[in-house]
Amino acid sequence: MKRRNFIKNASLTGVGLAVGNTLASCVENTSEEKKSVIATNKASLPLVIATWHVIDATAKAMEVLQAGGTALDAVEQGCKVEEANEKGQSVGKGGLPDRDGNVTLDACVMDNHGNCGAVVYLKNIKHAVSVARKVMEDTPHVMLAGDGAQKFALEQGFEAEDLLTEASKEAWEKWKVEAKYKPIINIENHDTIGMLAIDKNGDISGACTTSGLAYKMAGRVGDSPIIGSGLFVDNEIGACVATGLGEEVVKTVGSFLVVELMRQGKSPQEACEEAISRIVNKPNSNYKDFQVGYIAVNKQGETGHYSIHQYFSMTKFQDGINEQIQSDYFNKE
Ligand code: ASP
């Protein structure tokens, strides 16, 4: 089932699979015991994880890694698969537009040296993730926005094309019938692709790409291109990427938080759970109305994933197995 339909068909309140990573329960108190847990779970490299059900994208990333490519090459190539997939209405070509009918893309990359690049409000260029990489590698800046980002992309040889497909145009026209000025905050309106990879040298990189919240206000930018919110990589510790309602991720600097929690000794699973609890436990949090999900990996190759509501998933390619894993979640009411 496609990500969006999968979420749409889901009841937020149902109790379902809780097949998340169970490392949280394995972490022991003494450093000796801790060492043995890490050794038991020591993953074979390379490894790729991504938000949602994107096995073609993780397959591409793994192909790059197996051929000796870097983690950065892998996450870029993997994300490009989804950006080119016109049927995916949350990323790249075919992404759902803002309320004015414009498809605007946000993306970022971060490598094992702590370098990063991002584009926001990019129009007419499908491979936002590659433009973000160019910003990182070929400019003295971290982020380019709007017309400037597009101009830079064209100068770099990217092709301009209309990203609004017939299907997305139709969906937008349907939405317009009852359009309300206020942004509609529903989990079916967003599904960023975030990808993290560790190459065979143990180096970590990440990328994140999205058309953002469907029917957003013109000019709205979410968490996905914001380093520390949508994505953060620290090659000594691990990395995290987010999906869901970007405003809530930005308010808690989610991905940086997860990496810092791992630095303090938490497993990726524990760190993702703690970052979700920071959102849902805010006084007056209306978390029942929105979804946020995190995936994370640490330097040992252990992974974690957690969300507020059911039906978030992670795709993981490791040890020859490329699989979708349902995430455990907070709201089990
Ligand atoms: N986080 C993205 C945003 O808020 C959307 C998503 O993950 O689907 O723009």
What separation in Å is there between the alpha carbon of 28 and the centre of ligand 1?
35
Whether the CB-CB separation of 187 and 175 falls below 8 Å is answered with no
Ligand 1 within 6 A of CB of 255 = no
Radius of gyration from C-alpha coordinates of the chain = 19
Whether the CB-CB separation of 233 and 114 falls below 8 Å is answered with yes
Which atom of ligand 1 is nearest the CA belonging to 90?
A: 8
| Substitution candidate for ligand 1 out of 52, 189, 192 with most atoms within 8 A of CB | 192
Quick one: how many helices (H) and strands (E) in the chain? 10, 13
Q: What is the pLDDT of residue 240?
A: 98
Architecture of domain 48-329: 4-Layer Sandwich (3.60)
Sequence-ordered list of residues with C-beta below 8 angstroms from that of 238, at least 6 positions apart, any chain: 204, 259, 262, 268, 296, 297, 298, 299
Ligand 1 within 6 A of CB of 95 = no
Sequence-ordered list of residues with C-beta below 8 angstroms from that of 162, at least 6 positions apart, any chain: 124
Helical residues (DSSP H) of the chain, grouped into ranges: 3-8, 31-41, 55-66, 71-84, 128-138, 146-155, 166-177, 246-251, 254-263, 268-280
Whether the CB-CB separation of 241 and 214 falls below 8 Å is answered with no
Q: What is the pLDDT of residue 207?
A: 98
| Substitution candidate for ligand 1 out of 105, 106, 190, 240 with most atoms within 8 A of CB | 190
Calpha distance 155→181 (Å, rounded): 36
What the block records as the tokens of 108 is: 């970022």
Ligand 1 within 6 A of CB of 213 = yes
DSSP three-state, residue 71: helix
Calpha distance 108→226 (Å, rounded): 7
What separation in Å is there between the alpha carbon of 85 and the centre of ligand 1?
17
What separation in Å is there between the alpha carbon of 248 and the centre of ligand 1?
10
Tens-binned pLDDT, residue by residue, of the chain (333 aa): 344 433 333 333 222 222 233 233 333 333 444 443 343 344 579 999 999 999 999 999 999 999 999 999 999 999 999 998 877 777 777 778 889 999 999 999 999 999 999 999 999 999 999 999 999 999 999 999 999 999 999 999 999 988 888 888 888 888 888 876 455 544 444 578 999 999 999 999 999 999 898 888 999 999 999 999 999 999 999 999 999 999 999 999 999 999 999 999 999 999 999 999 999 999 999 999 899 999 999 999 999 999 999 999 999 999 999 999 999 999 998
Ligand 1 within 6 A of CB of 88 = no
- Domain residue ranges in the chain: 2-37, 48-329
Token pair 């994933």 is found at 305
Q: What is the pLDDT of residue 43?
A: 55
